[in-house]
Amino acid sequence: MSSKVPCRIPPNYIAVIAEKPRAGEKIARALGSPSKCSYNGIPFWVLNVDGSSVIVVTSAGHMFGLYTGSRGFPVYTYTWRPLWEVEASSRHLKKFYDLLSTILPKASMYVSACDYDIEGSLICYMIIERLGDVSKAKRMKFSTLTPQEIRGSYRRLLPLDRDMVEAGLARHELDWLWGINISRALTGAVRSVAGGRRVLSAGRVQSPTLIEAVRRWEDLNLHTPKPMISIVLTLSAGPGKQFKAYPKGWKVETKLEALNVKRELEASGTLKVASKSHSVESITPPPSFNLGDLQHEAYRLYKLPPMKTQEIAEDLYLEGLISYPRTNSQKLPPTLNYEGIIRGLSGIPEYSSLTRTLIAETGGVLKPVQGKMDDPAHPAIHPTGEKPGRLEGGYKAVYDLVVRRFLATFAKPASIARARLVVKDSWGRLYESHGVTILKEGWLKYYPFLRPEGEPLPDIVEGGVVRVLDVLVNISWSTPRVRLSKDSLLKWMEETEIGTEATRARIIEVLYKRGYIIDRDGKSIVSDLGYAVAYVISELFPELSSPELTRVFEKKLEDIRLGRARREEVREEAVKTIEALLKEYNKRLDTVKDSIAKALQLKKPDKPCLICGRESTRLNLCKYHYKAAVKLGEAIPGITKTLNTTPEEVLETLASKRGLTGLWVIEVSREAVKNKTLKELILKGVPPS
């Protein structure tokens, strides 16, 4: 297609810059009656707003990135270049760049209408700074793409958000400096020990997250489950009055002890009601979602990966159905038109009954529950009230969560009755039972996904007698204390305060895309490559094994956003930190070259592990399988006593409990079953290395 602009460009115009084409079209249509134009297939819109000519143009995300022509490391000099010039995957951006470079230089004024966050502010700033004039730039601030909010934000233009821009520049610079220097150092280490062209990557936030994933995977693989014996009584207080009871204040330690209790209870046949109590609890509604809350809830209910939930939420925002999702806030501002949103939702069949009930119950007085977390840029995620088209799958699920949570915040508290019953057997042992009755649904009517579990207890007279119907002896096995999944890593990043609500899920996806963590049969597994990279990082840059250093710089970046720190100072401190890391790296490299080569499987081990072939440490086992042998040696005596069995049977039991027993413990158990020498060593108790 010819590069000639098919629409007439007015001689004097304001350029409004949106982040993506879908957002650009919504902004243009909200501001007036635009003519849709095209330049090399890229859309833009020409319209008149309050007597002024306006052209709405659009980016496609970041148009510029950091680049250096320097090879090797350290490298601290760089330039901002158009991404299409330096990245093959960004060639599609050239058409957007050509349009922007045609429209922007002649504009009389510039309006940044990208997403109001660090990334959006940086995207627009770089475009205006390179192709226009930042001294003539203003900012639109909006949290939804509804016509009324777009028009309102255009009428109330703000100064350019320079602190947000500075924070964006600083984040990109720090991530680039960290990534390129540490990655090149790691790659250089590999080449120095084995040659070749294997490339290892690292990142300021990525590396401690990978180390945490490896730590969790090791804990899972070393998990040696312990049996727990429990007794469950099925009791009856008459026809239709059955309930369960469990030991209170005591527990059985062994299977044999539990079977003795079972025989005694079956022989006795009855228990006496010792006491009963009742309490009523009021449960306040939960606040509206921030992005992290929404990601966790979508994973808990629908197993949607955090990045998928984020992408869906961003699409729903671009469709004008929900507010801007990349927010940390759990608060809804009083300036929001609650009544208007609910009125809009009432036109959606799935929610019409709920909205009528909510208005009736509140009498039209709409006061939302507010959470603790806040975000100066955007409120909590909420629906706009716009009627959606056909939503399916994850889109329907995420939208439904947002709507129901929003409605629930205005509802009355739920009222829950909790009953407690204690019964006593002939030997004075106590058993208790708990019941739950929902007295008033309140907000649970709107958001049923947090409904308390439990059934009501039958009405029983204190001092009465109940009959024993069944006594069940259960053997359950302890589960690992940690999990490894995209959701669990996201929670860890939030708790550790590394990354941002906008970047965390994306960083986790990078670990999967690079093959450091892989999905297998619905479970997350650290790959051999992931192990190797984590090992090399921990040996050469142990400071990155902890999130502390990353967290320190995260707080400095936040200080820039709040105007409390200068970008140049933070960058200078980062450079000094990287210089110190690289100085220590050079000292460490000579001492760990051999172990790095073996970890990357670039050199054969001197003494391979008899199970996996890695370099062995003791007992012809690698460090992982040796730790598993130690765990087995510690656990077997207690398991033997609990189950009233033999050590040999314990080994066979653990080897068969796939999904409960850690992989390395299973492998060592299986080897010990057939390897008499290893079995004898484990049963004697392997000393820790």
**In whole angstroms, what is the distance from residue 500 CA to residue 485 CA?**
18
Cβ count near 84 (within 10 Å): 20
User: Which among 125, 324, 399, 512 is annotated as catalytic?
Assistant: 324
**In whole angstroms, what is the distance from residue 223 CA to residue 480 CA?**
6
User: For residue 471, what are the β-bridge partners?
Assistant: 233
**In whole angstroms, what is the distance from residue 335 CA to residue 449 CA?**
28
Considering only the C-alpha atoms of the chain, give the largest distance between any 2 of them, rounded to a whole number of Å.
99
Name, in order, each residue with C-beta under 8 angstroms of 193's C-beta and a sequence gap of 6 or more.
593, 594, 596, 597, 602, 603
In angstroms, the Cα distances linking 268 to 261, 265, 466 are 11, 5, 11
**In whole angstroms, what is the distance from residue 353 CA to residue 346 CA?**
7
| Tokens 């045609």, residue located | 102
At position 611, the amino acid (one-letter code) is I
Length of the chain as a residue count: 689
| Tokens 């004697």, residue located | 684
In angstroms, the Cα distances linking 152 to 91, 148, 149, 155 are 36, 6, 5, 5
> Cβ(650)–Cβ(226) under 8 Å?
no
Alpha helices in 242-388 (DSSP H): 255-268, 291-302, 306-318, 338-345, 349-362
**In whole angstroms, what is the distance from residue 40 CA to residue 5 CA?**
8
Write the secondary structure of 102-139 as one string of H (helix), E (strand) and C (coil). Answer: HHHHHCCEEEEECCCCHHHHHHHHHHHHHHCCHHHEEE
Q: Which long-range contacts (CB under 8 A, 24 or more apart) does 300-303 make?
A: 300/487, 301/397, 301/401, 301/449, 302/394, 302/397
The pair of three-digit structure tokens given for residue 203, joined into one six-digit string: 């990142």
> Cβ(193)–Cβ(593) under 8 Å?
yes
Task: Supply the angle between the helices 206-221 and 623-643 in degrees, to the nearest 10.
Answer: 40
The reply to whether 299 belongs to the active site is: no
- On the CB side of 254, CA atoms within 13 Å amount to 12
Using DSSP, state whether 349 is helix, strand or coil. helix
74 upstream amide cis, omega within 30 of 0: yes
At position 264, the amino acid (one-letter code) is E
What DSSP assignment string belongs to 240-272? T-EEEEEESS----SHHHHHHHHHHHHHH-EEE
**In whole angstroms, what is the distance from residue 342 CA to residue 319 CA?**
18
Identify the CA nearest to 285 among candidates 455, 419, 501, 440: 440
CA dihedral 632, 635, 641, 642 (to 10 degrees): -110
The pair of three-digit structure tokens given for residue 340, joined into one six-digit string: 């208007």
As annotated, the active-site residues are 324
